[in-house]
């Protein structure tokens, strides 16, 4: 193999692929990324046997097609530390040579044929949706999963598919994030109505999807899911277990107060009020009424805070105790110049936040005892 690559482009793609490779493995070859170069395109492949990626690299000119197995740590360090615009790669049975304008590295050879293969997307039955929407659905749900729980189903995001839409849901039992968007079905019904995608695979997908990608195709099998974009194919095994009945969490509350809240100012106020919270006392009281929202935090060992925010609400005063960390997670994935609706009923009922584009978020209130737990 002989190829000339734009260093920054190769670095970005290599880092995405390398995030799949395990740092430790009984199969040392998995701690590498395989590079396959042809006249038409160059692909990077990585896997840990649970999930994998095939990622196309832009800005590569191949003079001699071939393949090379590149160690994640050493080759990644070369790409990061080099200041060359272009790098020349040559690989044969003796090793891989990487040359810059004033630098040269030689890495030992590993047989590319020994590297495990990843599935190729050749599906007849799949769903298709906007890549930008799918990426946003991931961002707006994966933050709410519980990666520390022994309930494995909560360590991933639920994906439900319908005739012309799909829903993604993430929860840790204390808050729940849901995003819905349009999707088209091709080739007949899918094999499963709902599956759970591991959070780690979703973070990989978020990195692998580009703003330039137009559409993604999603195919689900009994124990794995494949996602194809114009430049990448990602596959992962699915999580097993029972996901909570998430629709039961969204209350039908016609008597709740709907308040329009500006994202940017509210985000700032929540972060300020959270300064005086601690691991032992996490609650902040949100007091709505008289054209303003008052955020009150109080911790014996830290101090107290009172932050006011003008809002368009003149009704009866309503207070609820919430964990500010959960609101910060929600607000971080919204446009700071936008607004959202916050539905509040009383101190014992969940707060429901929603936007006009299908994103909804439920936060369970804290009792005084739980606020200090």
The answer to the question of residue 19 being in a domain is yes
Confidence check: pLDDT of 137 > 80: yes
Ordered DSSP codes for 77-137: HHHHH---SEEEEEEETTEEEEE-SS-EEEEE---GGGSPP------SSEEEEEHHHHHHH
Quote the mean pLDDT of the chain.
92
142 & 172 share domain: yes
The answer to the question of residue 288 being in a domain is yes
CATH number at residue 238: 3.10.150.10
Tokens of 168: 């993604």
Q: Which residues partner with 257 through β-bridges? A: 344
**What is the rounded CA–CA span in Å between residue 321 and residue 295?**
10
**What is the rounded CA–CA span in Å between residue 351 and residue 322?**
9
360 is in which domain, residue-wise?
A: 250-371
49 & 66 share domain: yes
Q: Residue 89's closest CA among 45, 46, 36?
A: 36
The answer to the question of residue 322 being in a domain is yes
Q: How far is CA 52 from the centre of its chain?
A: 16
Q: Which residues partner with 342 through β-bridges? A: 259, 353
75 & 148 share domain: no
Q: Would you say 162 and 141 are in contact if contact means Cβ atoms under 8 Å apart?
A: no
234 & 285 share domain: no
Tokens of 78: 């070369």
Confidence check: pLDDT of 180 > 60: yes
pLDDT computed for residue 150 by the predictor:
59
Q: How far is CA 282 from CA 78, 298, 305, 309, 369, in A?
A: 44, 9, 13, 20, 11
307 & 219 share domain: no
Q: Of the candidates 70, 91, 114, which is a domain's last residue?
A: 114
Q: How far is CA 148 from the centre of its chain?
A: 17
231 & 255 share domain: no
The answer to the question of residue 121 being in a domain is no
Q: How far is CA 25 from CA 28, 35, 212, 234, 326, in A?
A: 6, 20, 34, 20, 35
Q: Would you say 134 and 127 are in contact if contact means Cβ atoms under 8 Å apart?
A: no
The answer to the question of residue 148 being in a domain is yes
Q: Residue 70's closest CA among 34, 100, 114?
A: 34
pLDDT computed for residue 344 by the predictor:
93
State pLDDT tens for residues 261-301: 999 999 999 999 999 998 888 899 999 998 999 999 888 78
Counting the structural domains of the chain, the total is 3
185 & 280 share domain: no
Query: Strand pairing of 66-71 and 60-64?
Result: unpaired
Q: Of the candidates 91, 114, 137, which is a domain's last residue?
A: 114
Confidence check: pLDDT of 28 > 70: yes
Question: Residue 253: which pLDDT band, with cuts at 50, 70 and 90?
Answer: confident
176 & 262 share domain: no
**What is the rounded CA–CA span in Å between residue 57 and residue 68?**
14
206 & 259 share domain: no
* Mean pLDDT, residues 326-353 taken together: 95
State pLDDT tens for residues 207-248: 999 877 799 999 998 899 999 999 999 999 999 989 999 998
232 & 297 share domain: no
366 & 293 share domain: yes
**What is the rounded CA–CA span in Å between residue 199 and residue 145?**
7
190 & 263 share domain: no
The answer to the question of residue 209 being in a domain is yes
Question: Residue 373: which pLDDT band, with cuts at 50, 70 and 90?
Answer: very low
**What is the rounded CA–CA span in Å between residue 290 and residue 312?**
9
The answer to the question of residue 102 being in a domain is yes
Q: What's the sign of the alpha-carbon dihedral 4, 7, 8, 14?
A: positive
State pLDDT tens for residues 32-67: 999 999 999 999 999 999 999 999 999 999 999 999
> What is the CB neighbour count within 10 angstroms for residue 152?
14
The answer to the question of residue 238 being in a domain is yes
Q: Residue 219's closest CA among 180, 186, 179?
A: 186
The label of the residue with tokens 């009994």 reads 222
Q: Of the candidates 86, 114, 142, which is a domain's last residue?
A: 114
């Amino acid at each position: 193999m002989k190829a000339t690559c734009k260093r920054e482009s190769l670095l970005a793609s290599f880092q995405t692929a390398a995030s799949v490779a395990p740092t430790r493995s009984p199969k040392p070859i998995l701690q590498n990324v395989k590079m396959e170069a042809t006249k038409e395109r160059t692909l990077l492949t990585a896997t840990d046997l649970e999930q994998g990626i095939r990622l196309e690299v832009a800005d590569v000119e191949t003079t001699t097609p071939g393949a090379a197995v590149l160690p994640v740590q050493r080759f990644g360090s070369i790409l990061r530390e080099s200041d060359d615009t272009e790098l020349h790669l040559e690989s044969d049975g003796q090793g891989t040579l990487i040359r810059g304008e004033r630098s040269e590295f030689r890495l030992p050879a590993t047989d590319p044929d020994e590297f495990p293969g990843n599935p190729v997307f050749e599906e007849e039955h799949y769903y298709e949706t906007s890549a930008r929407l799918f990426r946003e659905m991931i961002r707006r749900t994966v933050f709410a999963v519980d990666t520390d729980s022994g309930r494995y189903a909560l360590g991933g995001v639920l994906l439900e598919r319908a005739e012309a839409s799909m829903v993604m849901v993430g929860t840790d039992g204390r808050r729940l994030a849901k995003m819905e968007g349009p999707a088209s079905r091709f080739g007949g019904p899918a094999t499963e109505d709902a599956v759970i995608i591991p959070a780690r695979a979703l973070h990989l997908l978020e990195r692998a999807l580009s703003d330039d990608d137009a559409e993604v195709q999603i195919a689900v099998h009994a124990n794995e899911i494949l996602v194809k974009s114009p430049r990448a194919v990602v596959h992962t095994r699915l999580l097993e277990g029972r996901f909570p009945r998430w629709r039961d969490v969204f209350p039908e509350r016609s008597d709740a107060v709907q308040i329009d809240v500006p994202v940017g100012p509210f985000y700032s106020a929540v972060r300020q009020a959270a300064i005086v919270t601690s691991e032992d006392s996490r609650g902040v009281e949100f007091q709505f009424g008289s054209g303003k929202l008052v955020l009150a935090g109080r911790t014996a060992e830290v101090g107290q805070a009172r932050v006011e925010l003008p809002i368009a609400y003149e009704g009866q005063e309503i207070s609820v105790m919430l964990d500010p960390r959960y609101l910060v997670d929600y607000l971080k994935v919204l446009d700071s110049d936008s607004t959202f609706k916050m539905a509040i009923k009383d101190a014992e009922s969940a707060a429901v936040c929603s936007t006009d584009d299908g994103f909804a978020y439920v936060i369970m209130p804290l009792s005084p005892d739980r606020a200090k737990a």
